[in-house]
Amino acid sequence: MKKKAISVVLGMAMLAAAISGCSGTTAATTTAAATTKAAATTAAAATTKAGETTAAAGENKKIILITMDSTDQHWVNVDKGCQEEAAALGNITYKWMAPDKKDDAQQIERINNAIADGADAILIAANGPDAITGALEEAKAAGIVIVYVDSPANTEAVATFSTDNKAAGKTAGEQMLAALATAGVTKGSIGIVNINTATDSTNKREAGFREAFDGSAFTILETQYGEGDAAKSQDIADNYITDGVVGIFGCNEGATVGVGNAIKGAGGGIVGVGFDRSDAILSLIKDGSLVCTMVQNPSVMGSEGLKAAAAVLAGETLTETAVDTGVSIVNKANVDSLA
């Protein structure tokens, strides 16, 4: 009996460890899901100091974009940004080599193809930090300029154009403050629905969001974690509402849908601000359940990335190598132009 008792207790200790430890294992998938599904077309605040003068005419350079896949609207918009910039610059031969699905082997193959194709520069959104590093180092050895768009790998490149999640979170916080001010709310508590403690991008968003409230009269409650599950996030948001919050921030798509649904269910009256864009989120903005959502700017990643690559190829030095492409704010006023 004693043996049995010990085994049961050990089993439960494992369970407890799994409960607290499991969040780590979901990090990879949730981060992937956090990548916005589609992109904003509105212009953003991103700027590169370099590349404003076009490269010297005459010499034609070949620039190749390699994304994670070919179908996602996010990548289609990166490509669109590249195309526009290539057309504007004039002396660029631009090509998009997209794997048909997110797969490290396919991405490596595309890099090798780009080298064989005689690329002068490669713009790449790395699937993961490590898998493609070797292939990229080979490309660099062949004298090819590497620029990261959206997500970098673990080898140095001339520049990275991606969303600064902390700054984006701060923008979300400022939007909420503005909406609360408009509603005449001057104090109260605010809830945050995040994914889990292990997702870096959403933790940065949360940190930025909290920073926006520094010194304000509002109290930010303990963060709750919905595991990226819209239904669970909705339960959490329901609880926040019962507890009398004046605003709730959703850190990713699932959390944002949950927050919006909960506010809708409560009949409004709470300021909901979210992150990412999806059809469900847009309709929650249209019906007023959410005030706004932050969406990334993939076309800016493409245009600025290509501009930087062209500048380096023309012999210029970039003044800024880690560029935040910013977020666009989608609210009731501009949501119809997107849907």
Range in contact with other proteins (rule: CB under 8 A) among 91-99, 106-114, 170-178, 223-231: 223-231
Instruction: Find the binder of other proteins among 112, 113, 242, 337 (CB under 8 A).
Output: 242
Q: Give the integer Cα–Cα distance in Å for 11 and 268.
A: 45
User: Which distant-in-sequence residues (6+ apart) come within 8 Å of 311 by Cβ?
Assistant: 48, 50, 51, 55, 318
Binding of residue 20 to other proteins (CB under 8 A):
yes
Binding of residue 254 to other proteins (CB under 8 A):
yes
Query: What mask of x and - would describe binding to other proteins in positions 66 to 105, judged by CB under 8 A?
Result: -----x------------------------------x---
Range in contact with other proteins (rule: CB under 8 A) among 80-88, 89-97, 122-130, 220-228: 220-228
DSSP string, 166-215: HHHHHHHHHHHHHHHHHTT--SEEEEEEES-TT-HHHHHHHHHHHHHTTT
To the nearest whole angstrom, how small is the minimum distance from the Cβ of residue 240 to other proteins? 8
Binding of residue 197 to other proteins (CB under 8 A):
yes
**Residue from 175, 171, 162 nearest 46 by CA:** 162
Number of residues forming the site for other proteins (CB under 8 A): 59
Query: What mask of x and - would describe binding to other proteins in positions 270 to 309, judged by CB under 8 A?
Result: --------xxx--x--------------------------
Nearer Cβ to other proteins, position 85 or 229? 229
Binding of residue 322 to other proteins (CB under 8 A):
no
**DSSP label at residue 55:** P
Please give the structure tokens belonging to residue 135.
Answer: 């292939």
Range in contact with other proteins (rule: CB under 8 A) among 161-169, 208-216, 242-250, 321-329: 242-250
Query: What mask of x and - would describe binding to other proteins in positions 42 to 71, judged by CB under 8 A?
Result: -----------------------------x
Please give the structure tokens belonging to residue 28.
Answer: 């990879």
**Residue from 226, 149, 155, 220 nearest 188 by CA:** 220
Distance set, CA 62 to CA 59, 160, 211, 251 (Å): 10, 19, 43, 38
Q: Give the integer Cα–Cα distance in Å for 125 and 115.
A: 16
Q: In sequence order, which ranges of 183-313 are alpha helices (DSSP H)? A: 200-212, 230-242, 253-265, 279-286, 298-313
Instruction: Find the binder of other proteins among 230, 270, 294, 308 (CB under 8 A).
Output: 230
Determine the length of the chain.
339
**Residue from 328, 298, 297, 302 nearest 89 by CA:** 302
Q: Which helix (H) or strand (E) holds 82?
A: helix 73-89
Nearer Cβ to other proteins, position 5 or 57? 5
Q: Report whether 204 contacts 192 (CB < 8 A).
A: no
Pairing of strands 218-220, 247-250: unpaired
Binding of residue 231 to other proteins (CB under 8 A):
yes
**DSSP label at residue 108:** H
User: Which distant-in-sequence residues (6+ apart) come within 8 Å of 103 by Cβ?
Assistant: 127
Nearer Cβ to other proteins, position 7 or 154? 7
Binding of residue 22 to other proteins (CB under 8 A):
yes
Range in contact with other proteins (rule: CB under 8 A) among 222-230, 301-309, 312-320, 330-338: 222-230
Instruction: Find the binder of other proteins among 28, 29, 47, 337 (CB under 8 A).
Output: 29
Nearer Cβ to other proteins, position 17 or 87? 17
Binding site for other proteins (CB under 8 A): 1-5, 7-9, 11-13, 15-20, 22-23, 26, 29-30, 32-33, 37, 71, 102, 195, 197, 221-225, 227-232, 234-236, 238-240, 242-244, 253-254, 257-258, 261, 265, 278-280, 283
